[in-house]
Chains A and B, each alone.
Chain A
Amino acid sequence: MSVIVYLENWEGKFKKNTFEAAQYAAKTAEMMGTEAIGVTFGDISDDASVIGKYGLSKVINLKGGDFTEFNNYKVAAALKDVASQNGGDTYIISGTFNGKAVAPVLAIQTEAGLITNVIDMPSSTSPLTVKRSVFSSKGLVSYSTDVANRIVVFIPNSVGVTEGEGSAEMSEGSVSVGDVPQSNVTDVDRVKGKIPLPEAERVVSGGRGMKGPENWGMIEELAEVLDAGTACSKPVSDMGWRPHTEHVGQTGIAINPDLYIAIGISGAIQHLAGVSNSKTIVAINNDAEAPFFKAADYGIVGDAFDVVPKLTEAIKKFKAEN
């Protein structure tokens, strides 16, 4: 037995959730008394040895025409092949959009037990037992699987990472992908210079209280000083004030950053369902009765148009002094 971990990269670069996956796999392997092997695809421009700081010593890089663009079936087939070459029975995948496209396919191809939406390290590895979030964060439940192969998909940023010592060795591998269903990526459109929401450690979010898209400048400025991503409530994206990809909540993206600042958002149950796992929540609202204050750690009752610029200045000042 061994642990196989999908180390996703974005145009050759690793991100925090790659490290989180590496560490998850290394710790799981330790619990099982075995080794963990990372698998990454395409050309890597980052220094792959940094993966070692998160406990992995071995990374296999798969290159070639099959992996120049993302295809969930090819990634699944490759992970399966690496596992069969290395006695892998446990797969760790970060729940990014790509991770979620790979996992169910891999589960069928390896006849594995698949547990998704996981928020913690396994409490046992035999049978594999992990805690997962259900009902859009309104509940938690432990799941287990006792089949030979198993796949854990964890929610990015839910287990966290701590950098340690160590260095990983990266080697080129070869796999056979075989005949898989075809689909072709014809165009990739990634917003440049912005932090994608699922991996943002800090998020500044605006609601209908912002009155109109022309007022988002102050949200973006606050986000910039905090090195944060920007998000919005559902009506804001429905009205076209902000792109759909910023819509958080039960029917948008579920996030769990270290800091979530909600500005002019009432705190409807469907909104909270996607953000309540944030470690620290700040609500800024001119209505003292806004439900968001019940879900927040810190609250300011006030007019966003007054409070937000002041807060941005205060943070700038703090950063300059520290």
Chain B
Amino acid sequence: MKVLVCISHVPDTTSKINFTSDNKEFDKAGVQFVINPYDEFGLTRAIWLQEKQGATVTVLNVGRAETEPTLRKALAIGANDAIRIDADPTDGYFVAQQIAAVAKENNYDLIIAGRESIDYNGGQVPGMLAAMLNIPFINACMGLEIEGDKASLIREIDGGKEKISASLPLVVGGQKGLVEEKDLKIPNMRGIMSARTKPLAVRPAVDADHKTSVGSFEKPAPKSAVKMIDADNVEELVSLLHNEAKVI
């Protein structure tokens, strides 16, 4: 079984988000980058498939050389090899085309991506990729079992979940539940050492266009100061929620 895990390289969740002075770009200065949290669940799930069901796991990122430490970390966690497609990930459509080109060559049985990247919150790449390959796409996937060429999956829906069966190959947009938080693999020393010599192939981008363009960034309007209410006077809160905030 060949598994591809798509890894998005994103600012650490504690990052302060700033934009360049002309508001045209995200300001990366001083920002720590990590594996997208949703992709971490998928990566660990893939490593389990490797350990228990003999899968080979390839990790892939569309990005410039700066993302290689993130791919090396995924190798240290246990992926067999890595691919970096050397391009700026301009929009979801562009990125999906890049991944689709690799996927068409390598015939993966399973492609695991994340529900969304926590930077641009697009939630676009996995579904676009699936549609380009014309294979099933299960988003918000919180459970995945593979037997032979059949998959049984659990997908989050509004207010609940549903079970799905499908044949491989397919694409999932994964999240917590693929594995639990406590199961997430972290690199150990041996993994870090062996990651240095695992293959990381750099491929040029294929010709592709993008369909959206970014205008200017801004920060959300700051909150006005909090109004503190005495714990013995909850009636005042009720009246503020009714008269001032008009939410009850």
Contact = CB atoms under 8 A, between A and B. Distances in A.
19 contacts: A72-B137, A101-B137, A101-B138, A104-B127, A105-B130, A135-B120, A138-B219, A140-B217, A145-B211, A181-B170, A182-B166, A189-B161, A244-B177, A251-B175, A280-B245, A293-B226, A300-B228, A300-B234, A322-B242
A157 interface: no
Interface of A is mostly: mixed
B166 A136 contact: no
Given A194-B159, A282-B237, A299 B227 contact: yes
Given A107-B211, A181-B137, A282-B241, 16 more contacts: A72-B139, A73-B136, A103-B127, A104-B126, A105-B137, A114-B124, A114-B211, A135-B11, A144-B215, A181-B134, A183-B165, A184-B164, A191-B160, A244-B176, A259-B247, A299-B228
B149 interface: no
B13 A270 contact: yes
Given A107-B124, A142-B215, A147-B211, A199 B158 contact: yes
Contact of B156 (A97, A111, A299, A315): A97
A139 B245 contact: no
Interface string A210-226: 00000000000000001
A109 B93 CA distance: 12
Interface of B: 11, 13-14, 17, 19, 26, 37-38, 92-93, 96, 118-128, 130-132, 134-140, 142, 152, 155-167, 170, 175-177, 180-182, 211-220, 223-224, 226-231, 234-235, 237-242, 245, 247-248
A29 interface: no
Closest 10 CB pairs of A and B: A104-B127, A196-B159, A302-B231, A108-B131, A190-B160, A142-B215, A183-B166, A113-B211, A138-B17, A187-B163
A129 B215 CA distance: 9
B21 to A, nearest CB: 15
A116 B121 contact: yes
Given A142-B216, A189-B161, A294-B226, A108 B128 contact: yes
B222 to A, nearest CB: 10
A74 to B, nearest CB: 12
Interface stretch (A41-49, A50-58, A303-311): A303-311
A158 interface: no
Contacts of A302: 231
A113 B237 contact: no
Interface in A61-96: 70, 72-73, 76, 96
B140 A100 contact: yes
Contact of B158 (A98, A114, A247): A98
B168 to A, nearest CB: 11
A28 interface: no
Interface residues of A, number: 96
Interface of B is mostly: mixed
A135 B164 CA distance: 31
B45 to A, nearest CB: 15
Given A117-B121, A135-B17, A297-B224, A198 B231 contact: no
A269 B165 contact: no
Given A139-B19, A181-B136, A188 B223 contact: no
A259 B241 contact: yes
A315 B158 CA distance: 28
A78 B185 CA distance: 41
B158 A96 contact: yes
